[in-house]
Each structure stands twice: as C-alpha cells, then as structure tokens.
A and B are shown apart, each in its own frame.
Chain A
Amino acid sequence: MRTPISYFLVVSALLFTMGTIGVLVRKNALVIFMSVELQINAVNLALVAFARQHGNLTGQVLAFFVMVVAAAEVVVGLAIIVSLYRKRRSANVDDAHLLRW
C-alpha cells in the first residue's frame, strides 16, 4: 500500500475534530448526537489504520465492537431524546439550563 498510515490518522484526527466542534457549536440535540457518531467513526478509522500498521486484526475486532456498542448507544440515546422532546417540546439543548447558579 502506498499511502502511509499517518495520512489516515490525520484524516481521522480531522474528522474527530469536526465532530467535536459540531458537538460544541450546534444546538439541536439530534445534530449533536450525530456529531458524536462522527467522532466515534473517526476513532474507528484510526483503529483500523493501526490494525493495518501492526499487521494484526486486533484493531478491527475492536472497531467491530465499537460499532456494536455505538449502535446500542444510538438506540438508547434516541429514546432519551424522544422522551425529552415530549416533555419539553424542544430539542434545543440550551433550554435545559436550570442547574445554574
């Protein structure tokens, strides 16, 4: 393979950062959640890249597990968002601000 592993890692870093910025900047709860998914996938990419570099499948197995858990997490998270939305009629995270000084 011609492309150095580090390139993949840089892409992973960029994706992760963009996911982070998305979490911080967006106000819609669902979009924030999607940004978190982006982060997770960036990490998956890094894992698989490392697996390729080290020459074993450990990274891939781990990425597999991450996917499974992420799926479960999405299920539960969306359920929570749905019930939150029902309560508050708003998916804007800034509206939950009562725990303040």
Chain B
Amino acid sequence: MRDAGALLLIPLFPLAGATILLLTGKRWKGSSVGWVGSLMVAGAFASSLTTFFSLLSRAPGHRLMVRHLYDWIFAGSFRVDIAFRADALSMVMALTVSGVGLLIHIYSIAYMRDDPRFSQFFAYMNLFVFFMLTLVLASNFLVLYVGWEGVGLCSYLLIGFWFERKSASDAAKKAFITTRIGDSAMLIGIIFIWFHFHSLDFQIVFRGAPGLANGTATVMALLLFAGAVGKSAQLPLQVWLPDAMEGPTPVSALIHAATMVTAGVYLVVRTHPIFEASSVALTVVAVVGIVTAVYAGLSAIGQDDIKRMLAYSTISQLGFMFFGAGVKAYAATMFLLVTHAFFKACLFLCAGSVMHALPEEETDMMRMGGLFRPMPITGIAWVISAAALAGIPPLSGFFAKDQVVAAASESGREGLWILALFGVLLTAIYMGRSTFMAFFGKPRYRGHPHDPPALMGGILGLLAVGAAVNGLLNLSRTGLLERFLVPVTGPVAEVVSGPAELPLAAISLGLSLVGVALAFYVYLSGRFDWQALRSRFVGPKRALEKGLYVNDVYSEAIVIPARAGAAFTAYVVDKRVVDGAVNGIGRLFTWGASVGRRVQTGLVRSYALAILLGAVGVLLYLAVRF
C-alpha cells in the first residue's frame, strides 16, 4: 500500500510543526513562525488530498486504508496499537480540518502579529491540528481517545492563551472541567466496549455491533454520547462554549466552530453501528440535539456580544447536526458539518476583523452599527456567511439544513420535525438581528474602522466563497457527499421522490425568509424603536442573554458546594487536622523537651541527689533480686 504513506504524513506535519515551534520558535524573527506553522498545516492538507485522491482511485467498495504504525500496548490480553484509518468519513473530516485550519493559520499571521507570544500561539495551533487529525484518522478507540484528550488540552491552552486575564484562565478551566465530565463517561464507555468485544479496533467493533443486546448497546452508545455532549457543548454541558470566547478569535474560529466541537458529531457518525443496535440511543441523540438547538437559538437572540452570539449559534448548529445523526441522516449531518465549518469560521474571522478595527477590541454589538460602509469586504463576507447559516439559497447552508429537516420529517416524528423548523426560524432571526445590528443601521461605533489587511481579507474572501458554493457538494439526497459516504454510513435511505421534496424545502425556506424579514422589520426598517424595546423587556432579554440561567444554576448547585467542600478540605481537614496532627507531634516533642530539660538545673546538689536516687534504685533492685 504505497499510497498509504501519505496517510501517516497527515498528522505528522503539524506534529513536527508543533515540536519545532515549541522548542525553537521564540528565536525566530518576524512572522516567519506563522508561515512555518501554516506551511505545516498546508502539508497536512496536501497529504489529505493525496490520500483522498488515492482513495477515489479505487472502486467504491474498496475505499479503505488502514496503516499500522506501532504496537503500543501489550498487557496480557489487552492489545492496542497505533493505527490510522483512511475511509470516506475520516477523509471528509481530515480535509475539512486541514483545509479550514490552513486558512485560519494564515489569517492568524496577521491577526496575532503584535502578540508577544506569537510563536507559542502557532505551536499550540499546530499541536491542536495534530491532535484533531489523530482523532479523525484513528483506527481504534484508544487512539481516538488520545486525540480527544489532546484537543481538549489544546483547547484549554488556547482559550487561556491570554492567561493574564483572570476571565480567560477561568474560561479555560471551565472548558476543561466541563468536557472532562463527558470525557470520563466516554472513557467508561470505551472500557465497556473493550470488555464486550475484547478489542478496541473499529472494524472489529463495528462488525460485531449489530449483534449487541439492546441494553448493552444502549449503555455503550449513551456513554460515548456523553463524551460527545461534553466536547460539542450540547445540553447539559454546553456552558463552557460561550465563555471560551475569551480566547483569541482565530481560536474560536478553528476550535470552537469548525473542528474540535464537531468531534462529537464525528464520534456519533463513526460509531453509529453501536447506536443503531440500541432502540433508544439515536432517539436520545436526536432529542438532545434538537432541544439544544432550540435552546441555543433562543439564547443567541439575546446576546449583545458578537462572539457569544456566534458561540450560541455554534451550539445550535451542532444541535442540528446531532439531530441529523439521530434521525440517521448521517450524510446530511456531515454535509452540514462541512458547510458549517466554512461559514462559521468565516463569521468568526469577520468578527475578528471588526474587533481589530474598533477601539479596545469591541465585541458589543450595541456599539457597532453601520459597519458595512467602512468595512465592505468584511461586510460582504459576513453577509454571505450569515445568509448561508440562515439557509438562504443558493448558498450552502440552505441545502444542508434542508436535507436535515427533510430527514426529520421522514423519520415520522412530527414533534421533532416541528422543533427543527422552529430552530430554523430562530437561526434566521438571530443571524438577521446580528447582521442588521452590527453592519447596518445608524453607526453607533467609535473610532475609524477599516477593512483588515490583505492577508486577513483574502482569507475572509476564500471562506465566504466556500460558504457560498459548498452546496455543490451535496445538492440533493443523492449528491456527491452522500454517495461518497455510503461505505461508511450505509446505503441511502429511501429517497422521497422529487416533487414531494419541494413542499418540505419550501417550508424551511419560507421560515428562513420569515425570520430574516422579522429581523429586518425590527432592527432596520425604522418602524420599531428597538432600543427602547430593550429597556421594556429587560427581564426576558436578560434571561436569554444568560442562556436561560443554566450557568447560574450550575454555579449555585454544583460550583459553590464544590468550592465549599474544597475549602473545607483545605482549611479544616488539611490545615487543622492533618497539619495539626503533624505539627502537633512536633509540638509534643518540643513540649516534652521543655519539660524534660528542667532537669538541667546547673546545681550540683540536684545532680548529687540524682546520683543517690540512682544508687538507691540499683541497690533496691539487687536487694529484691537476692
């Protein structure tokens, strides 16, 4: 398998980049670090393309490459090796990760130019890309888990990149700890899989999955899904993602929009045989997904911070993706994942250029407005991506979302389908609101904003183009992507015939347009004094802004008791009991010594008395003995 060599190169490039940059990056001059880092990701992308094409050159039924690297663990019957797997699904992910990652790296060269820890940033970004590629190219659960943990680590490092800010370091901790909860459940799930299959290799596990008992499969699937819930910020573990916006904007774009958070979706699609063996697991996934999508959509409407709005939007879109997986529309889910990567990354990077352009890195949309005129390039990119997100044809989002909704309606679950449509409406509303608040209307900003430098602007353009034309990837349920993914996702379900599709598409399209129109009417048409509206509906707005107070509930119910417990342990148990005991022993000896040394009176007569005492004692002993 000569062409499998490129497969190993895919994660190797960014790993080399990370190593070199971590060890030596500080001494390099100028922004060459950034170019090297981007070059490494470009290498990964090129290797992914090579592998992809070599995969394509084979017949559809033979598109699988497994490359074994190293016999890792040999503990009795527990054997795991480091192996990578290239099939349709992993290739889609690898291309997306490396491609979008490459664009964001190049963008960061300009964005992070003035940062004192420039080289460290690119080292971490490269490290992240390495772990993410490891995750998607893994051939067994343990290598996947290594990648899973690795991206968690890099997310922590990058969210807290400006750790001098307490809010940033707190956010990093919050992200790590929250995803930890999911990760722990996932690990238990992996262990459970091992116990059942005595192997962690994907091929073996998935081949045996259909034979799983319902209960076993449900437990396995739900444990794995818990990990996905954590990593992809779904209810109830979604609280970390809005706070993760403390990190630099390219980080938000790459990790918290395009790649890391999609790892959960990838996991579910990859392990779908296990989910399908259970009668309820997929339903759980779909329900969690759609409920999260609606919840996050509502919260996004209430956000004034542009990045937080995008964060909630990401949560919502991820919910849609899980929803799609839950109704077995795996290809549609992946399609949504890819298109979302493009337009969400573009939106984040536009937000980044707005932040750069305004004084003090302004993110509050109340202090923006009418930015289209001074920043046309950013504005156009934003509008295209926003429209794609909202599902306006012929942009990519329309096709993706429509296919997911259609799959929902086919699943026969009316309730879920209605919720999905509601989610579509909300998406359009919040995107319209943010677009009209930030880029149109009367200017409320300070300073003199202008478009970003060519490097950043160019990336924005590329991503916007992608957002626009990606629809071509899967124009219908029998599109390119769908057919490409068949070996992994199973045969295409019964396709609803052409004419019957249209009403469904029309409904979702109509809702998108209604949402945008609503936003237009409120925010731009001038017939509404929406700023006065804010002061009238302070309560509801606040509730939405605070994510329906989920965060605060957690804080009260979990964080504060945990802190109290920790304080108790630290100050009472450790300080008083443990230290008290240890110090007490010391004090005991000191006290004993202070008592004992009183014997040393320095007076000869006392000593003489002591001698006599001893003599009498000895004589007594002798007398008694004899």
Partners in one complex: yes
> Interface residues, chain A, CB within 8 Å of chain B?
20, 23-25, 27, 93-94, 96-101
Is A94's CB under 8 angstroms from B612's CB?
Answer: no
Q: Which residue of A lies closest to B600 (CB)?
A: A101
Partner of A98, one of B602, B608, B612: B602
Is B601's CB under 8 angstroms from A100's CB?
Answer: yes
Say how far B5's CB is from chain A's closest CB, in angstroms.
81
Q: Which residue of A lies closest to B604 (CB)?
A: A93
B603 in contact (CB, < 8 A): yes
Is B605's CB under 8 angstroms from A100's CB?
Answer: no
Query: Hey, which chain A residues are within 8 Å of B609, CB to CB?
Result: 24
How many residue pairs between the two chains, A and B, have CB atoms under 8 Å in the bound complex?
31
B413 in contact (CB, < 8 A): no
Docked CA distance A9–B409 (Å) = 123
Partner of A96, one of B597, B598, B604: B604
Interchain residue pairs with CB less than 8 A apart (16):
A23-B608, A24-B612, A25-B605, A27-B605, A93-B605, A94-B604, A94-B605, A97-B601, A98-B602, A99-B600, A100-B601, A100-B602, A100-B603, A101-B598, A101-B600, A101-B602
Docked CA distance A26–B605 (Å) = 9
Docked CA distance A98–B601 (Å) = 9
A-B complex: 3 closest residue pairs judged by Cβ atoms: A100-B602, A97-B602, A101-B597
Say how far A53's CB is from chain B's closest CB, in angstroms.
19
Chain B interface size range = 10 to 19
Query: Hey, which chain A residues are within 8 Å of B604, CB to CB?
Result: 93-94, 96
Query: Hey, which chain B residues are within 8 Å of A27, CB to CB?
Result: 605
Say how far A80's CB is from chain B's closest CB, in angstroms.
13
Known: A24-B605, A96-B602. 10 other contacts (CB 8 A): A20-B612, A23-B608, A24-B608, A93-B603, A93-B604, A93-B605, A96-B604, A98-B602, A99-B600, A101-B597
Query: Hey, which chain B residues are within 8 Å of A23, CB to CB?
Result: 605, 608
> Interface residues, chain B, CB within 8 Å of chain A?
597-598, 600-605, 608-609, 612
Is A100's CB under 8 angstroms from B612's CB?
Answer: no
Docked CA distance A32–B382 (Å) = 109
Docked CA distance A9–B597 (Å) = 39
Say how far B445's CB is from chain A's closest CB, in angstroms.
79
Say how far A51's CB is from chain B's closest CB, in angstroms.
23
Is B600's CB under 8 angstroms from A100's CB?
Answer: yes
Q: Which residue of A lies closest to B599 (CB)?
A: A101
Docked CA distance A82–B612 (Å) = 27
Query: Hey, which chain B residues are within 8 Å of A24, CB to CB?
Result: 605, 608-609, 612
Say how far A35's CB is from chain B's closest CB, in angstroms.
10
Query: Hey, which chain B residues are within 8 Å of A20, CB to CB?
Result: 612
Query: Hey, which chain A residues are within 8 Å of B608, CB to CB?
Result: 23-24
Query: Hey, which chain B residues are within 8 Å of A98, CB to CB?
Result: 602
Query: Hey, which chain B residues are within 8 Å of A101, CB to CB?
Result: 597-598, 600, 602
Docked CA distance A101–B593 (Å) = 11
Is B602's CB under 8 angstroms from A99's CB?
Answer: yes
Docked CA distance A24–B605 (Å) = 6
Docked CA distance A96–B597 (Å) = 18
Q: Which residue of A lies closest to B593 (CB)?
A: A101
Docked CA distance A93–B603 (Å) = 8
Q: Which residue of B lies closest to A29 (CB)?
A: B604
Say how far B574's CB is from chain A's closest CB, in angstroms.
35
Docked CA distance A24–B612 (Å) = 9
Query: Hey, which chain B residues are within 8 Å of A25, CB to CB?
Result: 605
Say how far A13's CB is from chain B's closest CB, in angstroms.
11
Docked CA distance A98–B605 (Å) = 14
Docked CA distance A41–B609 (Å) = 21
Query: Hey, which chain A residues are within 8 Å of B601, CB to CB?
Result: 97, 100
Query: Hey, which chain A residues are within 8 Å of B598, CB to CB?
Result: 101
Docked CA distance A99–B604 (Å) = 10
Docked CA distance A101–B603 (Å) = 11
Say how far A98's CB is from chain B's closest CB, in angstroms.
6
